[in-house]
A and B are shown apart, each in its own frame.
Chain A
Amino acid sequence: SAVISQKPSRDICQRGTSLTIQCQVDSQVTMMFWYRQQPGQSLTLIATANQGSEATYESGFVIDKFPISRPNLTFSTLTVSNMSPEDSSIYLCSVSLTEFYGYTFGSGTRLTVV
């Protein structure tokens, strides 16, 4: 399975600022997925990032708030823009090499907005 390096692991940010989260994979993958886990909740998909095309956002998530870059097959970034306390969550990236191997997750970025 793939190994994912995600950073930062945690951050405390002021409201109104932006944070960019990086996700590096040790294998080339077509799709990378970004999830949000609000405190005590399950995971919700934010968007799917394909290399060479615009990310596909799920209902309730918009590009202006969560811009995503996917410059190559091993790297992606998610930016949380104009943050408010409601954005305090764990953000995780995920990839799947093949369905046989399932999905691998990064260790997550624990974001607190004050």
Chain B
Amino acid sequence: GDSVTQMEGPVTLSEEAFLTINCTYTATGYPSLFWYVQYPGEGLQLLLKATKADDKGSNKGFEATYRKETTSFHLEKGSVQVSDSAVYFCALSKQGAQKLVFGQGTRLTINP
């Protein structure tokens, strides 16, 4: 079945460091790909998305590019802030199925 694999956490970085959180997927067809963020004590918020190969999603300084050849959707940010500390989830959905399949989540902590 469809699945999403994220790099294991937790990840701890210093402020202004470069961030990469790896995400790869297994799916038939052409899924849409998402990154969600969960701040402490809160629900999930959509961070960015891409619906077809080579699309780049971006928001709040974060970026991810849909790479069909490597079945990847890695999340990057050039300079992280303390406020970016959260759990990040990579997810996919199949057109028509509409349910989301989530990766295991990566906890990110940014130290000042």
Q: How many A-B residue pairs have CB under 8 A?
A: 51
Q: 8 Å CB contacts to B: which residues of A35-52?
A: 41-45, 48
Once the chains bind, are A42 and B46 in contact (CB under 8 Å)? Answer: no
- How far, in whole Å, are A14 and B101 apart by their CA atoms in the complex? 31
Chain A residues within 8 Å of B104, by CB: 41-42
Whose C-beta in chain B lies nearest to the C-beta of A10? Answer: B41
Most buried by B among A45, A99, A100, A107: A99
Once the chains bind, are B98 and A96 in contact (CB under 8 Å)? Answer: yes
The answer to whether A61 has its CB under 8 Å from any CB of chain B is no
Q: How many residues of A are counted as interface, with CB atoms below 8 angstroms from the partner's CB atoms? A: 22
Q: 8 Å CB contacts to B: which residues of A7-58?
A: 31, 33, 41-45, 48
**Which of A96, A99, A106 makes the CB contact (< 8 A) with B43?**
A106
Chain B residues within 8 Å of A1, by CB: 46
B-side interface residues toward A, CB under 8 Å?
32, 34, 36, 42-46, 49, 51, 89, 93, 95, 98-105
A-side interface residues toward B, CB under 8 Å?
1, 6, 31, 33, 41-45, 48, 92, 94, 96, 99-100, 102-108
For the A-B complex with A42-B103, A103-B93 known, give 9 more contacts whose Cβ atoms are closer than 8 Å. Answer: A1-B46, A6-B43, A41-B105, A42-B102, A99-B95, A102-B46, A103-B34, A103-B100, A108-B42
